[in-house]
Structure 1
Amino acid sequence: MAAHRKPRQRSLGGNTARTAATLALAGAATATAFEGTGQAEPQLTPAQVKAKVDQLYQEAETATQKYDGAKDKADAAQRRLKSLQDEAARKQEKLNSARDALGATAAAQYRDGGIDPAWQLALSSDPDQYLDDAAFAERVGDRQAGAVMRVRGQLREIERLRGAAHVELTSLRSRQAELNRQKNTINGKLGEARRLLDRLSPQQQAAATADAVSSRASRSGSDGRDILSPGSVAAPDSRAAAAVSYAYSKLGSPYIWGATGPDAFDCSGLAQAAYRSAGVSIPRTTYAQINAGHRVSRSELQPGDLVFFYSGISHVGIYIGNGQMIHAPNPSAPVRIAPIDEMPFAGATRVV
């Protein structure tokens, strides 16, 4: 009877091994090719570049408003800190004078034969602890006790001021960190927009921004001047008129994020500067400016009203009538006249 043997498995070798290796290499090459294709930057049309750049500018504008708000709070914290430090320094001078006076009296008393407990307190390195001794009050006269109590009060006031200054310093450092975060965000967005535009030829860049140029030209006469001019639509009062006049005077000024004039602006900086010129103080940021007066509907708009855009209230312009506003758009365009319907309308406020 023939023995039944289990068939011996053949090891990969010769043509079989070569075939397997070829398939493996081909698979790796295919995977690499797909991976390279997935990572390659897509070619964008000028219209797509414009849409992406507009989005980046809007995101940068949102970050700019956060930066402006953080800077406003940082500046306020800096002022409070300086005020506290100045007050603490003044009180320290008064304390030093009071202690010098007590020391002089103590020296005189020592020469007369002994140091009163009140002067021991004044010269102690830890007067609060000394004062906690309940027997002390029984060993000093009313006049001496009053002088020492005043010194003690001054010491405590100085400590309070130093504690408040420490709180303000902590707040200031937090605001400064927020400033740096928003600054990095803004620069990142604007840098990305610039890189996108740099991928286009000069002709394509012109096409990507052609609508901004044509929309401006359509509102200008043959000599290039704006059809609307100051006073062509009456402002409701002198302060609104002054704000509108200021905005007109700044047409052509460059957009620089964080700027409040007089030579460059961001959107909320222009609004704030315009009303400051009219003697009216309004907040620094768009999301605070919208609450600086009373709300008005789009149908009720009058020159001088502040008009706001986007769901996050990240952009503002100064209404000048006939559906037009003056605003600081973004780094690609200077302060200019534009229709209020070129962006998503979010609301309006009458400041005065």
Structure 2
Amino acid sequence: MRGIGEARAAGARRRRGIVLAVTGLLTLLVPLTGPAAEAEPKPTVEEVHARVERLYREAEAATDAYNDAEEKAKKQRKEVERLDKAVADASERLAGLKDEAGALARAQYRGGGMPMEAQLLLSDDPEEFVDDLRLARKGQHAQRRLITEVTGTQQRLDGYAKEAAGTYGRLERSREAKSGAKELIEERLAEAKKLEKKLKAEERERLRRLERQRAREAQARWLDSGILDEIDAEATPAGRKAIAYATDQLGKDYVWGAEGPDTFDCSGLTMRAWEAAGVRIPRTSQTQLAGLARIDVSEMRPGDLIIYHSDASHVGIYVGDGAIVHAPRPGRQVTVAGAGSMPIKGVVRPDA
């Protein structure tokens, strides 16, 4: 009996030890899983504004990459179509040449395989000999032409095949770049929308007011520099047409990758505006900066394009009086803004 009692007492002590250990562990875990852990400080509207602006900037830069990849893919698809047609034409020509070569071979076979020159020497009729000599020479020229053309056509086909392989490779890389950019755009936009959605209605309105206030402050600093005293050039006829097109789009939604007529992204709007003026310009803000004539800010005139941010990820069309028309970002519409409301990277002139 004594042994049983001691065993029971030892078991009770072990159970109390386990209970105490578990209780201690739970005490440690409560701060990690309870209300205290969830009470993460809520970001201020200013902090949300900074994060949202960064996310939209990243999405806009990715949109440029997406548009650039799409433009390259368009050119490469056209090149593939051209090569496909060239291959089809060359293959058809080669088939015709092979038929022609077969006809010559059959004619020679019917002559007993004897060279045409030998057949002429055995002719009894001098006039027929002369006529046949002309025909023989024509036949020889035809054979040489045929051999040359067959060889050339085959070489062209081989060249087309090699060129097509390179074009298909570039097209596939453009598709991959476009797909990667699209994924990044959607990821950044979803994150920005999630942040904004967490705000209450009055906070979202305050966020909008904060955006406008920051833009006004930047514009005021730009104007205080006296820059408008130096900018006095007038728009060209083409510039006026581009401005007219851009202002006709006011109020239309921004959609990344869109180039009209119902929705636009920033460079889609400037491209279409200048297209309406009869001038074809590159598709993205980065390629517009790289491919168009650079102009000093003090020399710009209405119709010129202002490229913004250090990565050249945004563009607007200058309309005069220190203002631009631009497509700002997702969730916004084509609007008028201060030309100095964002950091200026450079100014370019489509009709230089």
TM-score range, shorter chain: 0.7 to 0.9
1:17-64: CA deviation from partner (whole Å, max 9, x where unpaired): 956873675356425634787787652233332322221111100000
AA in 1 matched with 2:284: T
Aligned to 2:28: 30
Aligned to 1:137: none
Q: Displacement of 1:213 after TM fit?
A: 6.7
Check conservation: 1:216, 1:337, Cα contact below 8 A. Answer: no
List aligned pairs for 1:55-94, cutoff 5 A: 55-94=54-93
Aligned to 2:339: 340
More helix by share: 2
Secondary structure, counterpart of 1:274 in structure 2: helix
Secondary structure, counterpart of 1:318 in structure 2: strand
1:286-336: CA deviation from partner (whole Å, max 9, x where unpaired): 111113333233333321111111110100011112221100000121100
TM-score (norm 1): 0.77
Aligned to 2:127: none
Check conservation: 2:233, 2:299, Cα contact below 8 A. Answer: no
Greater gyration radius: 2
Aligned to 1:326: 325
Q: For residues 115 and 267 of structure 1, do their structure 2 counterparts lie closer, same or farther at Cα, with a shift above 3 Å needed?
A: farther
Check conservation: 2:215, 2:342, Cα contact below 8 A. Answer: no
Tell whether 2:243 aligns with 1:244: yes
1:186-231: CA deviation from partner (whole Å, max 9, x where unpaired): 01111111111222233322222234578999xxxxxxxxxxxxxx
Q: For residues 280 and 39 of structure 1, do their structure 2 counterparts lie closer, same or farther at Cα, with a shift above 3 Å needed?
A: farther
Aligned to 1:286: 285
Q: For residues 193 and 113 of structure 1, do their structure 2 counterparts lie closer, same or farther at Cα, with a shift above 3 Å needed?
A: same
Secondary structure, counterpart of 1:209 in structure 2: helix
1:112-141: CA deviation from partner (whole Å, max 9, x where unpaired): 33498xxxxxxxxxxxxxxxxxxxxxxx95
Identity %: 33
Check conservation: 1:294, 1:349, Cα contact below 8 A. Answer: yes
AA in 2 matched with 1:296: I
Aligned partners of 2:41 and 2:154: how far apart in 1? 69
Aligned to 2:6: none
List aligned pairs for 1:134-149, cutoff 5 A: 143-149=142-148
Aligned to 2:257: 258
Aligned partners of 2:69 and 2:38: how far apart in 1? 37
Aligned partners of 1:316 and 1:161: how far apart in 2? 40
Q: Displacement of 1:94 after TM fit?
A: 1.2
1:239-258: CA deviation from partner (whole Å, max 9, x where unpaired): 11111111111111111111
How many equivalent pairs are there?
Answer: 303
Unaligned runs of 5+ in 2: 1-9, 116-138, 217-231
Secondary structure, counterpart of 1:302 in structure 2: coil
List aligned pairs for 1:173-252, cutoff 5 A: 173-211=172-210, 235-252=234-251
**Cα RMSD (Å):** 2.9
Unaligned runs of 5+ in 1: 1-11, 117-139, 218-232
Aligned partners of 2:234 and 2:214: how far apart in 1? 24
Check conservation: 2:256, 2:265, Cα contact below 8 A. Answer: yes
Check conservation: 1:95, 1:155, Cα contact below 8 A. Answer: yes
Q: For residues 208 and 107 of structure 1, do their structure 2 counterparts lie closer, same or farther at Cα, with a shift above 3 Å needed?
A: same
Q: For residues 212 and 249 of structure 1, do their structure 2 counterparts lie closer, same or farther at Cα, with a shift above 3 Å needed?
A: farther
Aligned partners of 2:206 and 2:114: how far apart in 1? 91
Secondary structure, counterpart of 1:281 in structure 2: coil
Aligned partners of 1:115 and 1:25: how far apart in 2? 111
Aligned to 1:129: none
Aligned partners of 2:215 and 2:64: how far apart in 1? 26
